[in-house]
Structure 1
Amino acid sequence: MKQRTKTILNLLDEKKAQDLESFNLSGKDYIVDEVIIATSMAGKHSHSLLDMLKTQLKPLGEIFYNTDEENEDWLIADLGDIMIHIFTENHRKKFNLEEFLEEINKQKHSSE
């Protein structure tokens, strides 16, 4: 696991994000190398988690290429090679992104 991923997970944990998971997808046919998933306690908590990440990570040199903050039940931050998904509990269960990412992780390396 990259140090950057550990830092992000630690920051989310400190701010009470729940059920933190990370997926290393390096070498897979996916748009990023790492995906982090967190569950927030509510929509406002989702926004506060994302705001905290921006505040803490930008001084460390992280670039937020894009964020999707329109739906507080599912916020997304694109750091280029790391994608962060912050879900409310019901949306996380509904979309079950983990199952999709685990299937990608089972695929052979794209150059094999």
Structure 2
Amino acid sequence: MLTREETIVKVLEDKKAVNVEVIDLQNKDYIVDFVVIATTLNAKHGFALLNHLKDELKPSGEEFLRVDENEDWTVIDLGDAFIHLMNEKTRDKYSIEEFLSELETNKEG
């Protein structure tokens, strides 16, 4: 059985998303436990990916708490995870992976 993260990656890759990356943030000082980033081919592809994710994840009880979408970038809030579907130009411009890699590790105590 696939984990939720693996299911998300499988759906995105099966539907031709490019450069799908999962960033584990469970031990980092950030508002979610993980982020999935994927590059879309165009605006319609981004909207289609969102619908495929809903079709695949909602039956297992996943809640899409908030979705912000435009033709360049869709952000899906699952509560403890974000999914970013971005066209290549937007992904290069904002380089979220770089920002997230620089987060401090949580220091208990």
Identify whether the pair has TM-score above 0.5, normalized to the shorter chain.
yes
**How much does 1:109 deviate?**
1.9
The sequence identity of aligned pairs, in percent, is 47
Q: Which runs of 4+ in 1 moved over 2 A?
A: none
1:1-112 paired onto structure 2 within 5 Å: 3-69=3-69, 71-104=70-103, 107-111=104-108
1:109 aligned partner, one-letter code: N
TM-score (norm 1): 0.92
CA RMSD of superposed structures (Å): 1.2
CA separation in 2, counterparts of 1:63 and 1:98? 24
Where 2:102 maps in the other structure, the secondary structure is: helix
Gaps of 5+ in 1: none
Whichever residue aligns with residue 6 of structure 1, its letter is E
Q: Provide the C-alpha distance between the structure 2 equivalents of 1:67 and 1:18, rounded to a whole number of angstroms.
A: 20
Cα displacement (A) at 1:20: 0.5
Q: Which amino acid aligns with 1:111?
A: E
Count of aligned pairs = 108
Displacement of 1:55 in angstroms is: 1.1
Using the TM superposition, give the Cα deviation of residue 27 of structure 1 relative to its aligned residue in structure 2, in angstroms. Answer: 2.6
Displacement after TM superposition at 1:110 (Å): 3.6
Q: Distance in 2 between matches of 1:20 and 1:65?
A: 22
Consecutive unaligned residues in structure 2, runs of 5 or more: none
d(CA) in 2 for partners of 1:54, 1:79 = 11
